[in-house]
Amino acid sequence: MNPVRIGLLGLGTVGRGTVTVLRRNQDDITRRAGRGIEIRMAAARNLAKAQNFASDIEIVADPFKVVDHPDIDIVVEVMGGIEPTRELILRALRSGKHVVTANKALLAEHGNEIFEVAQETGGMVAFEAAVAGGIPIIKTLREGLTANRIEWIAGIINGTSNFILSQMRSDGKTFDDVLRMAQDLGYAEADPTFDIEGVDAAHKLTIMAAIAFGMPMHFESVYTEGISQLTGKDIQYAEELGYRIKLLGITRRTSEGVELRVHPTLIPAKRLMANVEGVMNAVLVKADALGATLLCGPGAGSEPTASAVVADLVDVTRMHTADPEHRVPHLAFQPKYLCEVPILSMDQVRTAYYLRLSVYDRPGVLADITRILADLEVSIEAMLQKEPSASAQWVDIVMLTHMTVEKRINAAIVRMEALESISGKITRIRMESLDQD
């Protein structure tokens, strides 16, 4: 049987990794796929560098030449960006080609359109590499948990932010110092905004939620809060209370709708998730029949991401000639059964909270604070009061609350910040127990 012919868009880190993995494991991949998989053509910005790396592949500068070539069966997109990538993928599908992509931003923001065109044309769009690098979370959600009703997902799905928080905790360094270290090591981009402000994690969470709950992509509805405002003080206080701070993407099905949120989160230090350090990713899925399952591994990098890309290539090759109606649906549920569900605002979310207040060290202050919380039906689970220095008039108080609705916490913070005995803004970080029962 003739090999499947691949057109590769992008020969950067992931593209080169894909070529390397296909070459090194060619025999095993052919045996698994049932036929050979060969990269015939690739688009690259630096032609000389690309030809030096892959002299056996036809290299072109124009990616549309790859998409339009009649001999290409599958287009692999690892060039990133929104445009012209969206146009390239839609053009590939409309010309009868299948697509493998690692582009989480594109899918989160334009996936509804892309999957609709794929459905119309009978094309396949595979995207395991778009979420959590080499961790097979898409296949797990879409196929491995088919028998289950998924209840919630919580994930460390941005390695840059996890590295920064890990280093701040272990070394006591400031956010700015660790960010520079991450950039020097190549873990963070020159412009790290998408990573440190939670946008990258929000893209990935959008995709996982759509698959888990059988709904369209809703990136615009994800509450997104990054880690740039976190201080070493809060990381230290959390540790003293038995917690660690992680940037989590969380989606949960409730009777009122679906939660979609990315934010720094206190989780108990005894949880496995709390001990995922450095640039590693981890996703915890709670399903009704199986219970809780944790998947952990490299969330980025040349060959870990290429591992997912090549796995998708094998899947598409196996199903290349299959009737479209009998393939695994892109978002796990048959397209005609995808449904809109309400997306909860953060005011409606129920969780627990870490509050840090700088208060004037005098009698009666704590009574004022607890009275406000009691009026709004917010109960305190634990409290930590730091000893003031000999000359200090202000002291830090840290409170952990029981579960409550966010709008009550917001109201409490407004009232507490209005007290003369409170200095500056109150720090609020959400807490999740990640109970697996």
Catalytic residue among 97, 104, 204, 286: 204
368 shares its domain with 329 = no
Q: pLDDT, tens digit, for every residue of 323-347?
A: 676 688 887 788 888 899 999 999 9
Residues 251 and 146 placed together within one structural domain of the fold: yes
Q: Same domain, yes or no, for 147 and 293?
A: yes
The reply to whether 151 and 221 lie within a common domain is yes
- Give 121-176 pLDDT, tens digit per residue: 999 999 999 999 989 999 999 999 999 999 999 999 999 999 999 999 999 999 99
pLDDT at 437 over 60: no
Dihedral pair phi/psi, residue 382, rounded to 5°: -155, 160
Domain boundary among 337, 361, 393: 337
Mean pLDDT, residues 341-355 = 97
Average pLDDT, rounded, for the chain: 94
Whose tokens are 């978002």? That residue is 331
What is the structure's pLDDT at 333?
82
Is residue 115 in a domain? yes
How far apart (Å, rounded) are the C-alpha atoms in residues 407 and 430? Answer: 13
With 0-12 / 13-18 / 19 or more C-beta atoms within 10 angstroms meaning exposed / middle / buried, residue 160 is buried
10 shares its domain with 44 = yes
pLDDT tens, residue by residue, 172-221: 999 999 999 999 999 999 999 999 999 999 999 999 999 999 999 999 99
Q: What is the three-state SS of the chain?
A: CCCEEEEEECCCHHHHHHHHHHHHCHHHHHHHHCCCEEEEEEECCCHHHHHHHCCCCEEECCHHHHHHCCCCCEEEECCCCCCCHHHHHHHHHHCCCEEEECCHHHHHHHHHHHHHHHHHHCCCEECHHHCCCCCCHHHHHHHHCCCCCEEEEEEECCHHHHHHHHHHHHHCCCHHHHHHHHHHCCCCCCCCHHHHCCHHHHHHHHHHHHHHHCCCCCHHHCEECCCCCCCHHHHHHHHHCCEEEEEEEEEEECCCCEEEEEEEEEEECCCHHHHCCCCEEEEEEEECCCEEEEEEEECCCHHHHHHHHHHHHHHHHHCCCCCHHHCCCCCCCCHHHCCCCCECCHHHCEEEEEEEEEEECCCCHHHHHHHHHHHCCCCEEEEEECCCCCCCCEEEEEEEECCEEHHHHHHHHHHHHCCCCEEEEEEEEEECCCCCC
Q: Is the pLDDT of residue 226 over 60?
A: yes
Residue 328's Cα: distance from chain center in Å? 23
Does 344 fall in a domain?
no
Domain extent, residue 254, equals 137-298
Instruction: Give residue 386's pLDDT.
Output: 81
Whether residues 56 and 96 share a domain: the answer is yes
- Token pair, residue 46, equals 């630096």
Q: Are residues 288 and 141 in the same domain?
A: yes
Judge if 311 and 364 occupy the same domain.
no
Residue 436 resides in a domain = no
CATH (domain of 215): 3.30.360.10
pLDDT of residue 289: 97
Q: Indicate whether 43 and 128 sit together in one domain.
A: yes
Determine, yes or no, domain membership for 220: yes
pTM: 0.95
Residues 373 and 409 occupy one common structural domain: yes
Answer yes or no: is 25 within a domain: yes
- What is the pLDDT averaged over residues 258-282? 97
| Contact present, 318 and 326 (Cβ < 8 Å) | no
Residue 342 inside a domain? The answer is no
Q: What is the pLDDT of residues 50-89, one digit of tens each?
A: 999 999 999 999 999 999 999 999 999 999 999 999 999 9
**In this structure, is residue 34 part of a structural domain?**
yes
Name the residue among 121, 110, 104, 40 with its Cα closest to residue 74: 40
CATH, residue 27: 3.40.50.720
Q: What percent of the chain has pLDDT over 90?
A: 89
d(CA 423, CA 356): 11
Q: What integer pLDDT is reported at residue 52 of this predicted model?
A: 92
Q: Is the pLDDT of residue 321 over 90?
A: no
251 and 145 within one domain: yes
Residue 420 lies in a domain: yes
Point out the least confidently predicted range of 110-124, 234-248, 382-396: 382-396
Residues 78 and 18 in one domain: yes
Please confirm, yes or no, whether 204 is among the known catalytic residues.
yes
Total of domains in the chain: 3
